[in-house]
A and B are shown apart, each in its own frame.
Chain A
Amino acid sequence: MDLSEMVESLVYRKPDSLRDVETHYCPGCTHGLAHRLVAEVIDELGMREKAIGVAPVGCSVFAYNYFNMDFAEAAHGRAPAMATGIKRVNPDNLVFTYQGDGDLASIGAAEILHAAGRGENITVVFINNAIYGMTGGQMAPTTLPGQRTSSTPLGRDVEVHGFPLRMCEVLSQLDGAAYVARRSLHDVANIRKAKKALRQAFEVQLNGLGFAMVELLSNCPTNWGMGATDSLVWIEEHMIPMFPLGDYKVGPGVASVGGRES
């Protein structure tokens, strides 16, 4: 075989928008996937050098170590406010937050609600894995009824702890929200759909259409106490019925700006 005739073609690589480092995420965690999807979209949009990310408090607190772009680290729940401050003085930057369920739906509920209500021209990546990961598996505002966590050891009793919050459903009611969608990362087909939604959400911002959020149903094998594969099945069997997938808000003008699946 004539080696000189061999053609090497690169079929898979790290996006420029990710740094070439190992993450601290647990094996099997979908955070890595979500990071990659966001990074791929930013690469594809050619916006890496214009992007400013805002990291939350939670498992993805160190997101700024993994994304290869300007990044700020917010106080717990305040990422939408911080992103607002950045976007208002730097409207030409691509500004996004990356937040977990405790950050966005619990301690930061006011900030996300008002960012959406204002139609703040930012993109929000919302990771919902129904549990507090970083602090070791306590109840999240999205924990399912009956779900065992370290702070609901007998399972979430809705009589005591109330019901999970469905943030897409809530935020889609607001006039300022241009694009609100929920996707899942539990299998390849859904991962592809998630990427399209993310692209849509960033393009909404690039077109100045207002607030965009993609909720990604994610796993937490460690704190759910199951293997990675089982955790993906658990998303499908337990989370999706509580948090149905779909587009919750596709505001005026959004459909015409790329990205959206048909």
Chain B
Amino acid sequence: MQTEIIISGFGGQGALFAGQLLAYCALDLDLHVTWIPSYGPEMRGGTAHCTVIISDDEIGSPLVRDPRAAIVMNLPSLDRYETLVKPGGVLVVNASLVDRQPTRQDITTVMIPATEEAEAIGDRRMGNLVLLGALLELLPVLPPEAVGESLGRHIPAHHRDLLKSNLEAMARGAALASAARRDAVEPEAVSPGAA
């Protein structure tokens, strides 16, 4: 079984780190994983996205056209990836920077005001983890507790003081996604747990 996740946003939004966290957790769980970034030509502020593939078997291509899930952190990313997510897949949208609703009916979509939620917890830079928490709630590819443990293991030393609020951010994202799912009419094809 192979799960592909694309995380996309502006540079500086933490898309690459959110993907790396998934990769670290997959490593810690002894799964196969690839993480591959793509940057815009600008060092700061350009588009930044990464593709993470997690599998219980050897991974061939590290890139996919149609991921099972995507976290889109800005409007260009929504425009680009909404159409590509596999039917039955998951799309997590950063509502703080995106002013339109996704239109796909055959995937699970959730709008999370990540920046505001992160600010409420203490630091707007943790929006990526709010979104990641939401994704893991809807796409049980890795146990959220395991991701939290991996965060503790691999967080850079100079950010260690943020660990507790990072975990809080993930939990907040998960709670919002869970609530949104309860409220929403589930699309026919959705079965996030299936291969």
Touch between chains A and B, by CB atoms below 8 Å = no
> Which residues of A pack against B, CB within 8 Å?
none
